[in-house]
A and B are shown apart, each in its own frame.
Chain A
């Protein structure tokens, strides 16, 4: 799919799709404020656009209940009149901030009903990944001349196991399209989804500890285009957390049952697979082991 033909561009033209985490419940709990975070990110975007005249940047906001496109550098209607008055903000990002604000209000409305849900406060990563991939697919179909796309996921919220299937599907689509998913995790816990995403698609994963130097992290690691990565050493995680979440309860599990037809994962023995409908037979050794014949073990990659 990608780029035999993008040789017609110079090698380092890139399209960066940034997935910005705007989960308010996460930003409530961090020490860095959202505005500081935003300033690092905006400066980073500027830097990327400055690297090559033909570079493109698309920003998708990942909210709590919804996702939306917030900025597209290839559109001409980016410069809004309002921002010219105030100092400090590059004129380019006036519309970004405007749209971001609108998005947050809409998201707030959508989240009104969710006050009592005992759900891990995760952002809608699967939704924004899908939107990013759709945009990239559209770019592929515009013809031969297009920049090399990649996805950068700036995430702080923890993983929501209920999104496991959707996220894995997006990751595999990205792998098929040969689009690397870089991930920068700024939260406190480990994100298995992001680690797996970067590992499978061949992207870079990093979890910076100090958010004060976020801009430096972003420009050192994530600003390199795909061609340059061939001769630049980027940090690699030593191990990848390959744990899956079960399809029935969405819990993260280490050992479980796997349907031999569709490979869906369950944490307890079922009579019938809920995904493909195949009936599980009785195992011959019906004893201490649970009576399923499809016992499987998920392995963790060696950690050092």
Chain B
């Protein structure tokens, strides 16, 4: 039923007007009981931005607070929580339906307009950081040569990395134990108040599967969630007082309470299974001096009191060690469910499901058992009792490093070579060399060592060589030609380089042309490329004469690439024209009706 008796207030302090709240298709209507009051209200569901409500456990009355898009809030006080929850659920459903509808027409829009704000911001950020990219973007996207999507299509890596960084980090569990959460005690009214958040609930369910099971069984069939938690915390309180007699008494009375007080059966079963799977070759012999086993809690007092174990009520005790171990195990496992809801029951069910799955996986089949046994026997074998094993031996092959050096000289092919085939007269050659040395020893260094004309000639030719080389290459052999250009020309050349690369990338990726979209794209790119080409030519003209040659050498590969692209474009056009001319007469081939003249740049 979608009509409720409510009190409508516009603020918290307002006394509120009684009336009927009706939820209809697409809107919320409030009709006051008193026909004279003017607090009639009509709220359209699309206008509702958010809804807040008071919780059951708190002392506040059941309120539902709706804020609309103009930031006005409407507070409705319901008669009971059930009504409020029902109304809330219906409103949520209505809101969800509203959101779906505008999305359906949006699917028809092109992908460019479905970009979320986050994506756009990301793109701006990337552009801002990279000025070269920004320049390219300005040149192409704003002159409509390329669309946004095409521009970013090849740069997904730039965008993707950022978004990965922004994705939510998985939060682990707190390492503080649940039992460390102290309630607030009110000495006057003798009330103890526990604050439960969903985080705490999750932790309780993760650590104590018996509690979770009990929740699934008892709520909401046997008791409400509030009662459940009350009982649970009573049990905790009983534990903390270490009064086992009282605990036993209460357990006997209250069946549900007993569930919380007795040791966790599910956990015990899991532990038993794990113990069965421990490798028997593991040496678990404890050190003789560390004998903890018969001292409860390692002798550590949990609450500062000495305790004496009473055997008959032993089951109502829990040791710190057990709690600590269990908590540690859960924290290390981490958050293994993704349910983020407020609803305790769904959390419990999700956890139960996960446990089922892991249990199914962990069940050892017969084969697994066999394999384990085989492995254990292998590890535990005693060497003395083994038969001597003769392993097959592989011969050792050590290569002689000299092979490497000799192979380098070995394969000289004996081919007759021009001048070298004459049989050389070794003796003669060396003889003449020795004579020369003898000559110099007797006669000494030649005098004059060098004729002045010759020396002058040497100087002249050297100077000439050096000065011409300087003009061509530059002072530093390692210096690149780009550094010698004036800065503006240099920047222009570099920019042309990147923009031509970008254009060519898109141009070649749009072949083979199968749709009109690709065709127009190729046409636009070709125009942009011709533009670029003419700009390059202009730049070559504008530069000083001594740099012109080197610049044209530098620019030549760009122009060659552009020429190749133009050629391909024209060849493709001609081919299409020829094909369409050959095709059936009835086809309307208006697209391909271009000039057949080849454009030569």
Contact = CB atoms under 8 A, between A and B. Distances in A.
Interface in B405-460: 407-409, 411-417, 420-421, 423-430, 432-434, 436-447, 449-451, 454-455, 457-459
B553 interface: yes
Contact of B449 (A43, A101, A104, A248): A43
B472 interface: yes
A162 B438 CA distance: 33
Contacts of B35: none
B470 interface: yes
B269 to A, nearest CB: 57
A24 B411 CA distance: 26
B430 A111 contact: yes
B221 interface: no
B430 A24 contact: yes
Interface stretch (B187-195, B461-469, B483-491): B461-469
A302 to B, nearest CB: 7
B553 to A, nearest CB: 7
Given A39-B440, A107-B430, A220-B462, A116 B455 contact: no
A36 interface: yes
B445 A39 contact: yes
Nearest to B423: A115
Contacts of B446: 35-36, 39
Interface in A38-53: 38-40, 42-43
B102 interface: no
Given A111-B430, A215-B449, A238-B472, A35 B411 contact: no
B535 to A, nearest CB: 25
Given A104-B433, A216-B450, A118 B414 contact: yes
Contacts of A274: 407
Contacts of B455: 213, 216
Contacts of B417: 118, 120
A34 B433 CA distance: 7
Contacts of A294: none
A34 B441 CA distance: 12
B505 to A, nearest CB: 24
A220 B459 contact: yes
B441 A27 contact: no
Contacts of A283: none
A90 B404 CA distance: 46
B333 to A, nearest CB: 47
Interface in A1-47: 22, 24-25, 27-28, 33-36, 38-40, 42-43
Given A108-B427, A238-B469, A220 B437 contact: no
A57 interface: no
Contacts of B407: 274-275
B324 interface: no
A251 B553 CA distance: 31
The contact size tier of chain B is 35 or more
A228 B334 CA distance: 69
Given A39-B446, A116-B423, A104 B434 contact: yes
Interface in B496-526: none
A97 B440 contact: yes
A165 B477 CA distance: 26
A270 to B, nearest CB: 11
A210 B440 contact: no
A81 interface: no
Nearest to A65: B426
Contacts of B440: 35, 38-39, 89, 97
Interface in A107-150: 107-108, 111-112, 114-116, 118-121
Interface stretch (A71-79, A171-179, A229-237, A253-261): A229-237
Given A36-B446, A88-B443, A104-B437, A25 B424 contact: yes
A216 B454 contact: yes
B432 A27 contact: yes
Nearest to B464: A235
B445 A89 contact: yes
Given A24-B433, A43-B449, A118-B414, A210 B454 contact: yes
Majority-rule SS of B interface residues = helix
Contacts of A251: 413
A22 B433 CA distance: 8
Interface size on A, as a range, is 35 or more
A234 B413 CA distance: 40
A38 B437 contact: yes
A28 B423 CA distance: 14
Contacts of B444: 86-89
Contact of B412 (A28, A235, A249, A275): A249
Nearest to A304: B472
A238 B433 contact: no
Nearest to A34: B436
Nearest to A221: B462
B408 A247 contact: yes
A162 B441 contact: no
A165 B472 CA distance: 32
B408 A210 contact: no
Nearest to A116: B423
Contact of A27 (B420, B433, B465): B433
A40 B420 CA distance: 29
A216 B460 CA distance: 11
Contacts of A184: none
A212 interface: yes
**Max count, chain B CB within 10 A of own CB: residue among A24, A108, A162, A199:** A24
B256 to A, nearest CB: 73
B434 A105 contact: yes
A208 B450 CA distance: 15
B397 to A, nearest CB: 12
A108 B430 CA distance: 6
B473 A24 contact: no
B475 interface: yes
A269 interface: no
17 contacts: A24-B432, A28-B428, A86-B444, A88-B445, A88-B447, A111-B430, A112-B426, A115-B425, A210-B454, A213-B450, A217-B462, A220-B458, A234-B466, A235-B462, A236-B469, A249-B413, A274-B407
Please list the 3 inter-chain residue pairs (A to B) with the smallest Cβ-Cβ separation, ordered nearest first.
Answer: A88-B444, A24-B429, A34-B436
Given A88-B444, A118-B421, A250-B412, 16 more contacts: A24-B432, A27-B432, A35-B440, A35-B443, A90-B445, A97-B440, A100-B437, A101-B437, A101-B438, A104-B430, A120-B420, A121-B420, A210-B458, A235-B462, A249-B413, A274-B407
Interface of A: 22, 24-25, 27-28, 33-36, 38-40, 42-43, 83, 86-90, 97, 100-101, 104-105, 107-108, 111-112, 114-116, 118-121, 162, 165-166, 199, 208-210, 212-213, 215-217, 220-221, 233-236, 238, 247-251, 274-275, 302, 304
